[in-house]
Amino acid sequence: MSLKWTDSLDIAIELLEQYPEKDPETIRFTDLHEWVLALDAFDDDPNHCNERVLEAIQACWISEL
């Protein structure tokens, strides 16, 4: 399965598994963007991301805690 920017919940779950020590409420969007791009399953255009997309991923991550 490949992840796209629209897969906010799936990305959040992957990030939670990859970075269990991180508090998603305090992360910078620049870091979040880099971490998403570094996920093995992520396969989307890095430029198709904006603040709203990152906010959605962050909100899903917070809700999974």
Cα-Cα-Cα-Cα dihedral of 37, 38, 43, 45, to 10°?
20
Superfamily of domain 8-63 in the CATH hierarchy: IscX-like (1.10.10.600)
φ, ψ for residue 42, nearest 5 deg: -75, 130
Residues 49, 33 contacting (CB under 8 angstroms): yes
The model's pTM is 0.96
- Digit-coded pLDDT (tens) for 3-62: 999 999 999 999 999 999 999 999 999 999 999 999 999 999 999 999 999 999 999 999
Please give the DSSP secondary-structure letter assigned to residue 23. -
